[in-house]
Amino acid sequence: MFIINKNEVLSPDRDFNDLSLTDLIRAREMFHFHLLNKKNVIATAIGRYRIRKTDPLPWEKTYNTVSNMPNRGPKTLQNSEVRQYSWPCILVFVKEWMKDEELSKYENLNEIVPKNVYMPDGKIVPICVVEAPKDGRVEIIPIGTEITFPNNLISGGFPLIVESQGVQRIATITCIVTNGNKYYALTNRHVAGDEGTVIYTRLKGVLTPIGKSSGRNLGNMPFDAVYPEWSSKNLYINSDIGLIEIDDIRMWRTDVFGLEKIGQYGKLADLNSQNFTLKLIGSRVVGFGAVSGKMEGEIAALFYRFKSVGGYEYASDFLIGPRTGSGQPGIETKQGDSGALWLLETEESNGDKKENTKVLMPIAVQWGQHTFIDGNGVTKGAYGLATCLSNVLRALEVDLVRGWNLDNDYTWGKLGHFSIAHLACQMVKNQKLKSLLLANLEVITFGYDDLNIKDIDSGLKRMKQEFGFVPLADVPDLVWKSKIAGIKRGKESPNHFADMDKKDSDGKTLLDYCKGKYDNMKFLTPEEWLGYYTDPAVMDKSKGILPFRIWQFFDAMKEYAELGDATGFVTAAGILSHYVGDACQPLHISYMFDGEPLPNGTKKGEHVHSIFETTMINKFIGDILPLARTRSKETGFKTILPITKGKEAAGATVEMMKKTFKLVPPRKLVDVVYKFRDQQGMGDAATAEKMWEKVGAEAMAEIFVYGAYYLASIWEGAWKAGKGSTHVTELDLVNTDDVVALYESQDFIPSVNIKEIKQYLKE
């Protein structure tokens, strides 16, 4: 029986809660081989007693009846859970569940797993039997189009690539560590490979080396060497850890991609045999895998003893399963997530404030997974196998690095995109179109008073959580470059840029070739651009198609206007604002997009992109926007540029690019970063202030106004070409559920590359 005190269950009649982790480890060690030699047993672990989800609570009347019911069905990982009152135990995993009547037929009672084991000191240690056959099939690593690669800075959570025996292997970057002399990226040993192995990722869609395997790694570590207070013969902790010596630490930031908005990246959860505790079981953890994205779970068991070979046993520090109450059979993890950093979710008091701050403490490194099948052989649940991070750091004699670049954003120019879209809505002249756009202003962007990074970040989070919606001006970055299966677009990246200023073998750039006015611009075909990109002096592997993407969107908006489809037009127009915003940012249209490449493989003024488009703009938006708003009402913008077809929209985009180059030359930005960041060692924020001094509010306001003006012109051109004023009769707020359904569809204005784009362009 249980002793009940109102809402709290204190303990069972045998006070198993007095058992310590040491007691359980000693008991498991003493009886492990006895348990493992049972025909049906496949693994053991240290845990807390799992209770069927359908079982009543101890204070309910049916508790005793149900608990003592004979011949109950299988207890599986899927149908059981750890509850608040679950007591310490040894978990024994079996291939097949046997009912009481089946067990009673056993002639040899030694084949039956006991309910308890008895220790020499008189303590009784309970055993919880769980049916958990493993799925032996090997999962195929997904194609690269399902994986999000970094655009700017690299960090934990992003994928790395290594080529071995003709095959590309993918794993997840854990975090950055240092030995005081050099910086390393932590990941799995089986991916890092032998010393000197070159490790890659994709930056801006291009396969890029990021470092070499250092040869420093961890394999199987003797349990009693890792935990000297707990003797366990012939038992090894599986670690599978390797270090990659980073080529250029300035390309990295120290937190975990995808988790930066969840909570503060806290200090290491420094565990050892003195403070390892059973309280960890049931603790919530979160991680980010290169393939699966955000992974939520909880620690299901400790020291999961999963394999026996040649008289030696192998264990994982942590077995990570789904969160209690989630209804999920397992965690969302796949091949390629190996190396993912798991962080313990904790809270810190904010003093007098009502809400505590969520803090994520790095605790473990995933190196594998086991997929368990339930009794009917249908439902599968993946559980992560992970190594204690503090053990790894001690053994390799390195420290966790955290705390720099945490304010840099992965999505470039977020504030710029929303600001330009907002200004463009005000600059449209056609009254019916303007009514439609203003009615849907907050579907496309934010109100003027909210155009600051703090309000935008909080607004994005609220809209995503409450409505599952992202304002259209940043859908390409926040949705189409996400990791959500079925929504992510693998060929989206080339649509965001076009490097037009590198000289080819004839000493000419794309800007030189694209001559004439916007409505009669030469050299504006995918075939001619591909010829330029493949010129031996250019060799642009990324092959950006930004003006052609805008051409594609113009045609789509025209068609929606012809159909009288307000939802389709607003969705396409809002998302188009993102690409026009990219086109009026100088570093989206230059081969020096993140520094000037040098012959020795380094870059002059590296990280210029984030310093310009994020750090500087975020800091000085209060100076830029009011001036841009005033300029947008000046005489030169009183009339809209007459654009009648998609090719003219592409030509207008290139025309705008040329103006941008003159207003803010990319080389000027690179030189600022090289002088103040590279040579003088200034931080990003200080460098951004120096950049502001060189660029100034006048030029930045002009860029914003030109972006908004050309965007408004393209919107109005498509509206008029499709006779929107005649065909579109509803000019009210559109249904955001319909908008989301559109932009989450792969068929909505498909993202393609330069070799495929022609079929989507109408002359």
CA distance 180 to 184: 10
CA distance 211 to 214: 9
CA distance 369 to 333: 8
CA distance 567 to 563: 11
CA distance 372 to 379: 8
Tokens of 259: 């988790």
Residue 673: HSE in the Cβ half-sphere, 13 Å Cα cutoff: 25
Per-residue pLDDT, 62: 85
Which residues are CB-neighbours of 393 under 8 A, at least 6 positions away?
Answer: 177, 268, 399, 400
At 120 the three-state DSSP class reads: coil
Q: What are phi and psi of 127, to 5 degrees?
A: -120, 135
Name residue, tokens 């046993």.
Answer: 313
**CA 616 from centroid of its chain's CA atoms:** 25
pLDDT-flagged residues of the chain (< 70): 1-15, 71, 99-111, 136-146, 152, 166, 260-261, 263, 348-356, 375-378, 403-414, 452-458, 461, 464-467, 483-485
Name residue, tokens 């001036």.
Answer: 627
Per-residue pLDDT, 186: 94
**CATH class (in words) of the domain with range 144-400:** mainly beta
Would you call 405 exposed, middle or buried from its count of C-beta atoms within 10 A (0-12, 13-18, 19+)?
A: middle
Pick the CATH number of 414-493+522-531+540-651+660-760 from 1.10.575, 1.20.120, 1.20.1740, 1.10.10: 1.10.575
Give a three-class secondary structure readout of 563-610: HCCHHHHHHHHHHHHHHHHHHCCHHHCCCCECEEECCCCCEECCCHHH
**DSSP H helical ranges for 641-683:** 646-663, 666-673
CB atoms within 10 A of CB 533: 21
CA distance 360 to 357: 10
CA distance 636 to 630: 12
Per-residue pLDDT, 71: 66
CA distance 525 to 761: 10
Would you call 283 exposed, middle or buried from its count of C-beta atoms within 10 A (0-12, 13-18, 19+)?
A: middle
Look at residues 130, 123, 49, 125 and name the one whose alpha carbon lies nearest to residue 85.
Answer: 49
Handedness of CA 155, 193, 211, 398 (dihedral sign): positive
447-481 in b/e form (b: 16+ CB < 10 A) is eeeebbbeebeebbeeeeeeeebbbbbbbbbbbbb
Look at residues 347, 756, 694 and name the one whose alpha carbon lies nearest to residue 549.
Answer: 756
**DSSP H helical ranges for 166-321:** 189-192, 223-226
- Farthest-apart Cα atoms in the chain, separation: 99
The bridge status of strand 603-604 relative to strand 596-597 is antiparallel
Q: What are phi and psi of 383, to 5 degrees?
A: -120, 135
Contact criterion met (CB below 8 Å) for 571 and 674: no
The bridge status of strand 116-118 relative to strand 198-203 is unpaired
Residues of the chain with CATH 2.40.10.120: 144-400
Tokens of 578: 């993102």
Contact criterion met (CB below 8 Å) for 551 and 721: no
CA distance 407 to 418: 19
Would you call 287 exposed, middle or buried from its count of C-beta atoms within 10 A (0-12, 13-18, 19+)?
A: buried
Tokens of 555: 């045609």
CA distance 227 to 275: 11
Each residue's pLDDT tens digit, 529-562: 999 999 999 998 889 999 999 999 999 999 999 9
Per-residue pLDDT, 10: 36
Which residues are CB-neighbours of 136 under 8 A, at least 6 positions away?
Answer: none
* CA-CA-CA-CA dihedral for 509, 515, 520, 524, to nearest 10: -10
